[in-house]
Amino acid sequence: MTGRRKKDKAVLLALPPHQEQQQPSEKANHQSQGGETKKANPFLRSWVWKREHRPAVDRFKKPYLHNITTAGGSPRTLVIHQAPFSTAGFASTVWDSAIVLAKYMERWPEKVVGKRCIELGSGCGLAGITAACLGAEKVFLTDFMENLPLLEQNCVANRVMEVASTVPLVWGREVPSEIGDVDVILATDIMYYDDAVKPLLATLHALSGHNPHILFAYGRNRQAEETFMRALERSNFCMKRIEEEELDDVYQCVDVDVFELQLIGHH
């Protein structure tokens, strides 16, 4: 891979939870008394930012604040509004795999810079909004119609409306014509019920006319994993695991996997 960003290799000591408002590299770099930088184990490092164990107020009430370095190299804090748990509950909080994928894209911005992207099952939209801030040419953030107001609020709050649009898209149904060809499909934590697997694969096929790279992350909500993997074996998608060395040093964790999928035999 080329264009890898130079990363601050400083590694972290464990921090207590609820300190997500700052970049771990700012907060957690730590010199021992002897001046030697210590490294926490991966589990403790991920504890700094993981949210799925947090109280409801952090997950459904307060906005999630996510620090990134944008396309122009400036630091920026994304404000991702969340909402009380309801029938749209899965869509109204930011899931850990969205954070892992957002940080992966930040590390490898060439994955999205200048690209036409679509996010499936966007929820609060962290991955799509990050792609827009990193320099994607266009990002369609999609979900059920009833989940679009929160998504729209987040696009407006983060001033990405020039590049990003929210579009209703239910997996397995016709893809709205305004979406057209895409280069990248973003999907985080959308593999959580068996009934969705077939329509989801149908949508991935329908969007694969331009042979997009599919960046697919999933975490604890992996109830449909077996069904999805079996369906994938029967389909023409190949799947490559993104290894932990390629993920952000800090924003990765043992319960989130990231894959890149692509339709085979498409050139």
User: Which residues are at the interface with ligand SAM (CB under 6 A)?
Assistant: 90-91, 94-95, 97-98, 121-124, 126, 143-144, 147, 170-171, 188-190, 192, 196, 199, 221
Report yes or no: 8 and 20 within 8 Å, Cβ to Cβ: no
Query: Which lies closer to ligand SAM via its Cβ, residue 12 or residue 165?
Result: 165
Nearer to ligand SAM, 91 or 201 (CB): 91
Instruction: CB nearer to ligand SAM: give 40 or 167.
Output: 167
Residue whose C-alpha is closest to residue 105's, from 232, 231, 260, 253? 260
How near is the Cβ of 101 to ligand SAM at its closest, in Å? 8
**Least CB distance to ligand SAM at residue 180 (A):** 19
Cβ burial, residue 162 (10 Å; 0-12/13-18/19+): exposed
Closer residue to ligand SAM, CB minimum distance, 40 or 190: 190
- Among residues 130 and 208, whose Cβ is nearest to ligand SAM? 130
Minimum distance from CB of 148 to ligand SAM (Å)? 10
Three-state DSSP state, 12: strand
For the bound state, the minimum distance from the C-beta of residue 32 to ligand SAM, rounded and expressed in Å, comes to 36
Tell the smallest beta-carbon distance from residue 94 to ligand SAM (Å).
Answer: 5
Task: Look up residue 16 and give its DSSP letter.
Answer: -
Dihedral sign of CA atoms 239, 199, 256, 227 in order: negative
Contacts (Cβ under 8 Å, ≥6 apart) of 32: 38
138-143/64-69 β-pairing: unpaired
